[in-house]
Amino acid sequence: MDRERGSLELMKQINKSIILDTVKLYGPISRAEISQRTNLSPTTVSTLTGDLIREEYIKEIGEGKSRGGRRPILLKFNSNAHFIMGVKLDAKEITLALVNLKLSIINKKNEVLKNRDKTRVIKQVSNLILKEIQESGVKLEKIIGIGIGTIGLVDTEKGIVEEAVNIGWRNVPLRDLIKERFNDIPVYIDNVANLSALGEKQAGIARKAKNLIYLHLGMGIGAGIVLNGKIYEGSNGSAGEVGHTTVEPDGPQCKCGNRGCLEIFASEGAIASRAISGLLARRKTLMKKMSGGSIDKVTVRLVAKAAEKGDKFALEIWKETAKYLGITIANLINVYNPEMVILGGGIVRAGKFLFEPLKRVVRERALPRAAKIVRIVPSQLKDDASLIGAAALALEKTKAFKKI
């Protein structure tokens, strides 16, 4: 009897999800049309739309046109019935977004990471979430999930940040530490690159792509890989660590212990370091004047601005960066055969000074059959990609566990 009841409840939840997705996609829509599109009986549709109206996921918005007989009542998806918190945690700052059920950002705020100690970071993230709830006026019970994108290696099943070199974390149970502060609101975590790929797939430039790679180019470098429409995590969640693939076998030692990693040559820190080394070596460059002679002001943004002004040294830096990234992307194209490679993160600010030499390297090194179908593009969602991806993850998981 319990098994039968459980099967009936599961079928009910599946049918509710089908109806909700149909209203989202085709609304405003009548109950009769929902029945036609889903092949669910009129009685089932009537019962379950009633449940969804009481739960505020859909609402009646008036009458439609009659096709003979009574005018149908139209239903519309209520995207602001509930909300998700999307959070991004990187080496420099915490960013948070209040996101509705259509994955639209309602409000966003960020703070500089004050301390890398895990207890203080958890407190800062929690306080930022509470601040958003208070300022937005959204009741806590309206928050159906929290999605968190973090740098480093993540065990998504256990909710643990296994290793985040750039903030010095090892085996931090991030999910549970956040969850216990918010009355057991479901919390889900993944790395920033995976969630950025998911964000672009769900709400950005890659909606129609089945196979894509998102490269997050920041202080660290990671790849979010989508194969057949789903995030590929590998056997134990460590897929996508392209920042620690070798591009120079005899190169300098990386923080990970390996030598010649991509991050040493193509991360934000690597680009800034190359510019600083040039300044200290008295290279002729506009960056000296632009930085006021202060190496603390030498950033990726400044190197990009110098390139815009035609600075030869800045252009040289971008060309070298593009070489290493191009080699890596060509390898990824040869292995995964994606339709699209999306670049996001601070380095993308360089625009054509990065993309043009990078595409040349890819054309030279990728197999022609794989290269001819791939598009290499900047992120459409930009800094919001991982926030929307984090919200999409939480929404997807919440539906899967029958909260919707």
- Closest CA relative to residue 80, chosen from 125, 138, 129: 138
Counted domains in the chain: 3
Residue ranges of alpha helices (H) inside 27-69 are 31-38, 42-54
Span 333-375, pLDDT tens digits: 999 999 999 999 989 989 999 999 999 999 999 999 999 999 9
Span 212-227, pLDDT tens digits: 999 999 988 999 999 9
- Closest CA relative to residue 286, chosen from 265, 266, 315, 323: 315
Q: Return the CATH number at 53.
A: 1.10.10.10
Residues 248 and 311 in one domain: yes
- Per the structure, the complete domain to which residue 139 belongs is given by 83-198+385-400
Residues 396 and 370 in one domain: no
Residues 184 and 314 in one domain: no
Residues 213 and 179 in one domain: no
Residues 51 and 98 in one domain: no
Span 60-105, pLDDT tens digits: 998 878 776 788 899 999 999 999 999 999 888 999 999 999 999 9
Residue showing tokens 């309602």? 106
Single out the residue in 77, 99, 118 at which a domain terminates. 77
Mean pLDDT for the chain overall: 92
Residues 28 and 67 in one domain: yes
377 near 340, Cβ under 8 Å?
yes
Single out the residue in 56, 77, 98 at which a domain terminates. 77
Residue showing tokens 């159906």? 144
- Per DSSP (E only), the strands in 261-362 are 340-344
